Amino acid sequence: MFREWLVAVKSRFPEFEELARIAENDNSWPDGYDSDRVLVYFEKSGRHQLIPLVRRALTAFEMLCTPTAPVPDELRGLPWEWHDSSLVQRSIASTKRHSRQRSVSTAEYRWYLGRNLAKQMSRVTRILIDTCHWVKMRDYEMGRPVPAEYGEILRHLRWLVASQRYVCPVTPALFLELQTQTDRTTRMHTARLMEELSRNVVLPHISTMEKLELRRTRVRHRFGHRGAE
């Protein structure tokens, strides 16, 4: 997803234009998102002078994937419009709280969170919405001319999500669409609508889902259905 993000946001991040050009044209760019593999790719391709810029781009990508995280001083010049100060404080407090639990590793804690989220999602119906319909509903909210049906669709979706039995998760494609929007007002409206209907649930990148499904299949073959769950 890092590769797609670079290409999508090159107009917003001029300093990453050269990286975006390489990502767009070089077929040997590594698939998926793995910072180590990306850095090794630049080393092996003889582009050592770009590695500091690659590290900066990777940090920016990770920060933009976590809008509640505090912005580091060295990245103050980048557009962090939706970083909410109250959410940042909650994020810092959460980090401090968990840092005191030395007996629980980061991997264990991530597994615990993922397990809890999976249990929650197993009890609700997921509604996947195409990016163009997210945009139309956003436009309806902003009073722009769109078919009246989108107002009715949005009302129904809000009612369903409020029932706690449905959720409209954010997809990687929708996240990239948000990054390409250059107008701050439009981008903020889109982000807030996404946050409301998704209940902060985001689908992983397709490459991650493929790995998880392959792992589940292997476990199922070895231990049966209950083992895979």
For residue 80, the SS3 value is coil
Band of pLDDT at residue 13, cut at 50, 70 and 90? confident
Q: What residues contact 137, with CB distance under 8 A and at least 6 apart? A: 150, 153, 154, 157, 193
Does 110 share its domain with 61? no
Q: Is residue 82 part of a domain?
A: no
Please report the pLDDT score of residue 226 as a whole number: 54
Look over the chain and give the mean of its residue pLDDT values, rounded to a whole number: 77
Region of poorest pLDDT, from 75-79, 105-109, 163-167? 75-79
Q: Would you state the structure tokens that stand for residue 105, as one six-digit string?
A: 């590793």
Give the domain extent around 146. 106-229
Does 12 share its domain with 121? no
Does 61 share its domain with 124? no
Does 153 share its domain with 223? yes
Distances (CA, A) of 66 to 47, 59, 87, 113, 173: 29, 11, 11, 16, 16
- Number of independent structural domains in the chain: 2
Say which residue the tokens 């050269």 belong to: 18
Q: Is residue 94 part of a domain?
A: no
Q: Is residue 219 part of a domain?
A: yes
Does 40 share its domain with 110? no
Does 125 share its domain with 59? no
Q: Would you state the structure tokens that stand for residue 148, as one six-digit string?
A: 């009246």
CA distance 160 to 41: 45
Q: Which is higher by pLDDT, 3 or 197?
A: 197
**% of the chain residues with pLDDT over 90:** 5
Q: Is residue 92 part of a domain?
A: no
Q: Would you state the structure tokens that stand for residue 49, as one six-digit string?
A: 């002078």
Q: Would you state the structure tokens that stand for residue 150, as one six-digit string?
A: 């989108």
**% of the chain residues with pLDDT over 70:** 78
Q: How buried is 94 (Cβ within 10 angstroms: 0-12 exposed, 13-18 middle, 19+ buried)?
A: exposed
Q: Is residue 166 part of a domain?
A: yes
- pLDDT of 69 strictly over 60: no
Q: What residues contact 73, with CB distance under 8 A and at least 6 apart? A: none
Please report the pLDDT score of residue 63 as a whole number: 66
Does 61 share its domain with 110? no
Does 131 share its domain with 201? yes
Of the candidates 16, 50, 65, which is a domain's last residue?
65
Q: Is residue 81 part of a domain?
A: no
What is the SS3 string spanning 126-180? Answer: ECCCCHHHHHHHHHHHCCCCCCCHHHHHHHHHHHHHHCCCEECCECHHHHHHHHH
Of the candidates 65, 97, 118, which is a domain's last residue?
65
* Tens digits of residue pLDDT in 80-97: 555 556 656 666 676 677
Q: Does the predicted TM-score (pTM) go above 0.85?
A: no
Q: Is residue 77 part of a domain?
A: no
Does 59 share its domain with 160? no
Within the chain, residue ranges assigned H as helices are 2-8, 17-25, 35-44, 51-64, 85-99, 106-122, 131-141, 149-162, 172-180, 184-198, 206-223, 225-228
